[in-house]
Amino acid sequence: MARSCRGFPRDTAVVDSVTKQVVQALRRIIRAVDLHSRALVARYGLTGPQLTIMKALEAVNGLWVGKLAEQVHLSQATVTGILDRLAKAGLIVRRRDGQDKRRVTAVLTPEGRRVLARTPPPLQEHFMERFSRLADWEQSQILSSLQRIVAMMEACDIEATPMLATGPIDVTPERTQAFLGLQRPGEEQLAAEVPSAGSAASKPVDRQA
C-alpha cells in the first residue's frame, strides 16, 4: 500500500479507480456535446454556432456584425461567413442600419423564426441555466476543478468560445458530412444514436458553419 504525501495510507487500487471514473466522466461530457452537435445538424440542419447566432438575433433583432461577433464570442470574419449561409437558406436578411449607413445589420426572417421555434436551445444555454442554480461555493469549486483539469491537459493556450459544440465552425459541406460520419463506411451511423427527425425536421441550412 502506497503512502500519500501526508503520511496516510493510500490504496493504489482506489486511486486507480477514482482516476478511471474521472476520465470516464470527462468522456461522457465530450460524448454528450458531440451527440448534441450531430443531432442538431442531422435533425434541424443547423450547427451550434449557427443556432447561437440566430438566438442572439432573436433576442435583439437587427444586430450589426461587430456587435453580434462580440456577443457570440466569434471573429467578425467567422460570423460574416455564417450569416452568408443563413441568408442563403432564407433564415436571415441583411439591412443597412437606419442611423449609420456604413453598418449592415442582420435580421431574422419569418422562416428563421419558425425554424428557431422548432429547435432546442443551445447546449451551453441549458447548462448555464442549471449551473446558475448552484450555490456560489459550488460554482467556484466546479470552476476551480475544471481549470485544474485544463492545466493538467496542457490546454491553457487553446482558444475556446463559451459554446458547447463539436465539429469545425466554418467548413465545407463535405467536411460537415464527414463530421456526421456519413462518409465513413463501417462506422456506426448517427441514425442509430439519435431518433429520426420525422416531420419535425426543418429546412436544411448550407452546413458549413
Nine-digit cell string for 69: 461577433
Is 197 contained in some domain?
Answer: no
Rg (CA), the chain: 21
Phi and psi at residue 10, in whole multiples of 5°?
Answer: -135, 110
Domain-located, residue 209:
no
Highest mean pLDDT among 10-19, 39-48, 77-86, 168-177: 77-86
Task: Please check whether residue 204 lies inside any domain of the structure.
Answer: no
In a domain, 25, yes or no: yes
Residue 32 domain boundaries: 14-188
Residue type, 33: V
Question: Which residues lie closer than 8 Å to 55 by C-beta, 6 or more apart?
Answer: 116, 121, 122, 125
Tell me, what CATH number does 47's domain have?
1.10.10.10
pTM, 2 dp = 0.64
CA distance 7 to 11: 12
Give the position of cell 420525422: 198
Has residue 33 been placed in a domain?
Answer: yes
pLDDT of residue 144: 94
Do 207 and 49 contact (CB within 8 A), yes or no? no
Whether residue 8 lies inside any domain: the answer is: no
Per residue in 37-79, pLDDT tens?
Answer: 888 888 888 888 888 899 999 888 778 888 888 888 888 888 8
- In this predicted structure, the answer to whether residue 132 has a pLDDT above a threshold of 90 is yes
Number of structural domains, the chain? 1
